[in-house]
Structure 1
């Protein structure tokens, strides 16, 4: 069974007198910086450029500085910038300027697990990975809740890395819900696998394939869109709240029978074999190598993929139905 920590297991004491540099002020960076500050901690925002993120940080009451200036002051350095940027920022701005023994903290294990960043042996290296987007991390915190998170320790020369990881988790509100201890390896590989096979790749291609099948059979795209794409949110919301059992209890008996029989026919052992292949590609490091090469070439696959989807019949249909969908949403 996984070890789960809650508020009673964590204290802010290990980091309350530390200066914490949050590098990045995007989705996660803004949420972390605000939550940590609201928890009474000493936060400084470090940014590469004086652009929109800089302006937003100023509006939020911070006095942002350039990355290297934040790093020079910091006892704890939190990387909340994109995965593929981290190694360059570390090499050029962090490593030459960080204090001896300063902590390095990550929200995802990619750069450490695949050895894109080689931290000094004198630094504690640990991770706090919220299981939700930054906007939700902030929203739940302000309402008295918290998004669950994973914590992991890679290096622990101080002997207190886990205590500090839990303190950061408490500072962003995660221990209000619960924090599970893991490893950089487990977090990285399971995160990539989930993104690829279900959360982003799998669910999108499943919906698109179902939509295209109905359209090819002669059904109206608008009707196909509602049946194969739009209703997905409603089903997933029920699963989020009540699990698979709750979802099955909420749908008709016809849907239960069809789902329980045809679902396994479509998502069969051949699909599972391909999932295992995807998992092995992640575990071996081959995916990381491919992604690094893709990024270095300017990410052409992403650009081509986004363009294809933007012009697809699915997206054209969504745009036609947008007024109907928006009109039906409950008023907050």
Structure 2
């Protein structure tokens, strides 16, 4: 079995350049709400793909200045929304419902499109659109700067597309057109649902990428320090080198990373890893994953946000004042001094 047919067996349909057509959205007025990491990348990529892009912002702050310096003429949110055909939500998750209720709902008309880069607000019913609009998603699997960088260099990052509501009968085609405008069809586009994208995204963030990883790095650092070793040595070994490992995983996968490290590291890692991440840890991971699936995490986070995110700020303050961050701030200066200039 060759690589292409095997990939198809595992992933199902992978949409590429010939599967997407910009004509589905070419003559539409596209209002992009937000000009942060993703907003900037989307606005510039879709503009450079020949689409009619308008950027809507709530105030004339740093994002406004950045848009102007990029050659975009930003507008107040309500002005960008006037006569728009496609509204793309690229403001933070917890801001979207307020902007939808106050700014988007009053101008919604039959046949408009609501587009999301993450399914949170739709899946957890913070936003409940009327039945006479299309609701679909294009979720890049990379941060905004990479979405832009890959596009500028002639490529694209993979994107997940999904349809929540297909009033027109062409929602998927329009989602693929958005993905093409971002450059994603040069890599590959996979179809998903709002539920699957939202829940797996939250699980990845909490169990591994942000939650599990941060806690593991801190615990390893503290263990080494508690055994009497210097904090700077602990930081280099437990935290700083993680980038080198994740770069290898990104380029070569888990087995490729293992083949790139020493046999001592391979043996120690493969024998000790399952002891650290044992069945009890996996059980607790499953419990937190079920909280996401049940909607309990979303309810907890919405309540925390509505009360001013005080607990979140306390957690961030604790991390900022930790020994590992104090040591890290000094050591990162050394690392950055030795980094080659582009």
Aligned residues: 332
Match of 1:224 in 2: 234
Q: 1:97 aligns with which of 91, 107, 111?
A: 107
Match of 1:159 in 2: 169
Cα distance, 1:120 vs. partner? 1.1
Moved over 2 A (4+): none
Match of 1:194 in 2: 204
Match of 2:147 in 1: 137
Match of 1:281 in 2: 291
Distance across 2 between alignment mates of 1:255 and 1:55? 48
Distance across 2 between alignment mates of 1:211 and 1:220? 10
Cα distance, 1:331 vs. partner? 2.7
SS in 2 for 1:96: helix
TM-score where L is the length of structure 2: 0.95
Q: 1:121 aligns with which of 118, 131, 136?
A: 131
Q: Deviations over 1:209-233 (max 9, x none)?
A: 0000000110110111111100000
Q: How does 1:129-278 map to 2 (within 5 A)?
A: 129-278=139-288
RMSD value, Cα: 0.9
Q: Deviations over 1:111-148 (max 9, x none)?
A: 00000101010100000000111111111110111111
Q: Does 2:338 correspond to 1:328? A: yes
Q: Does 2:35 correspond to 1:30? A: no
Distance across 1 between alignment mates of 2:328 and 2:235? 7
Q: Does 2:114 correspond to 1:107? A: no
1:45–1:63 contact (8 Å) kept in structure 2: yes
Distance across 1 between alignment mates of 2:18 and 2:228? 59
Gaps of 5+ in 2: 1-10
Distance across 2 between alignment mates of 1:64 and 1:228? 44
Cα distance change of structure 1 residues 241 and 309 upon mapping to structure 2, 3 Å threshold? same
Gaps of 5+ in 1: none
